[in-house]
Structure 1
Amino acid sequence: MLLKWIRCAVGDRDLFDQGQQDWADLQGVPGFLGQRGGWDTDASSIAHIFGLWAERGSYQAFMRGPHDLLAKRQVGTYTDIDVRVYETLQIIGHSPGDVAGREMLRVARCEIYEPRISHFTDVQASVWNPGMIRALGFQGGLFARRDANEFLVVTQWESAEAHNEYRREHFPRLHERAEPTRDIQFMIGHKIPLEAAWYVPPTT
Structure 2
Amino acid sequence: MLRGEITTAIRRALMQELAAVGYGRLSIEAVARRAGVSKTAIYRRWNSKLDLVLEVVNAAAGARLPALDTGSLRSDLALLFQVVAHALGHPLASQIIPDLLAEAARNPTIDETLQQVLRARQQEIVGRLISRAVQRGELPATTDPDVAVDLIVGPLYWRLAIARTPFTDSYLETLVDSVVRALGTADTLPRQREAPTPG
Identify the TM-score tier after normalising by the shorter chain: under 0.3
Greater percentage in strand: 1
Question: TM-score if structure 1 supplies the norm length?
Answer: 0.27
Higher RCO by CA contacts (8 Å cutoff, separation 6 or greater):
1
Greater percentage in helix: 2
